[in-house]
Amino acid sequence: MKKTFPLNIEGKNRDRVVEATKHDIRKYVKRQLRVALPEGVDYWDWDCRFGTSTETATVVHFATITKLIDDVAAAGGASFYIELVAKNGVRTAKPNTAQ
C-alpha cells in the first residue's frame, strides 16, 4: 500500500476521517495476513515509511503508525503519506546467554 490520505474532506468530520484512514490501514494489513506464506517463511514482516508527503517520508516501525497518524492529525496536517510493503519474515533462535 502506497497512499496519501487527505484529512480535510469537505462535509466530513475530521476526527471521523482520521478513524476511517486507520480502519483502511488495518483492513489492508488483515487482508495481507490472509495471504498464504511462501515456503520457508514464518510470518509477514513490514517495510514502513511515513510522512506528510512522499518526499518527506521516512522509515518507521510498524507499531508506531497509529501514533504517527494521531500526531499529524493533532498538529493540524492536511494529509499524510504511508507506505506499507509486506516482506518475508524468518524467525531466528534467541542466543543462549544463560551459562
Render pLDDT for 5-48 as a digit per residue (tens, 0 to 9).
999 999 999 999 999 999 999 999 999 999 999 999 999 999 99
Instruction: Provide, rounded to the nearest whole percent, the portion of the chain with pLDDT above 90.
Output: 90
Residue 17: all three cell numbers together? 476521517
The percent of residues above 70 in pLDDT, for the chain, comes to 98
Quick one: residue 93, left, alpha or beta (phi over 0 = left, psi -120 to 50 = alpha)? Answer: beta
pLDDT of residue 93: 83
Structural contact between residues 70 and 19, judged by C-beta atoms closer than 8 angstroms: no
Enter the DSSP assignment of 80.
E
